[in-house]
Amino acid sequence: MKVGILIFNEVEVLDFAGPFEVFSLAEALDRTKIFDVKLVGQTLQTIKARNGMQVVPDCSFEDHPRFDIIIISGGYGAEEIEINNPVMIEWISKQYSNVKIMASVCTGAFLLAKAGLLQNRKATTHWMDLDRLENDFENIEVIRGVKYVDQGKVITSGGISAGINMSFYLIKKLAGADIANNTARRMEYDIII
């Protein structure tokens, strides 16, 4: 399965790096990789993430493969910059019809909401931004105190490290509990799926 993780300037590092690590390490029992993970940027220009980390996308909006899963990262760049970028919002909206799962980490939920993908759905985001999500997008039922919310094709997760929990959940959903647990054990991540 192909996984695309959306990155942009001022993206929160763990929002993309956590899911990247989880999906990249997931293997079938015969040790073959289950997921092919790519970082996607609007262009191929170097991204300056939060706190100065520089990252180069693997592919751009113009040259990416067809993804089965797209993960929308969060951070200041999502909630304050990219939410006002019509190219970004249109790309997210367009990709929705092509994927099996569209997921967000942290304030990446704001980009899903802006694209109209959370209308009349339950969703969550970083605890500091729950009220804003609720106030800015009245047709979303905001869920508090959870790591992630599964609405079928759309899954949202809470802040920063919750994207790792959501990634293990997705692996369990798509590949089974044994693979999810083996991946968690390999990462020495204290989670029982």
Task: Single out the catalytic residue among 78, 106, 109, 160.
Answer: 106
Q: Hey, what are 141's tokens?
A: 């039922």
Q: How far is residue 79's CA from residue 121's CA, in Å, rounded to a whole number?
A: 19
Active site residue 106: yes
Instruction: Return d(Cα 124, Cα 111) in angstroms, integer.
Output: 13
State whether the Cα torsion 108-110-112-115 is positive or negative.
negative
Distance CA 159, CA 191 (A): 17
The Cα–Cα gap between 8 and 12 comes to 9
Residues identified as active-site? 106
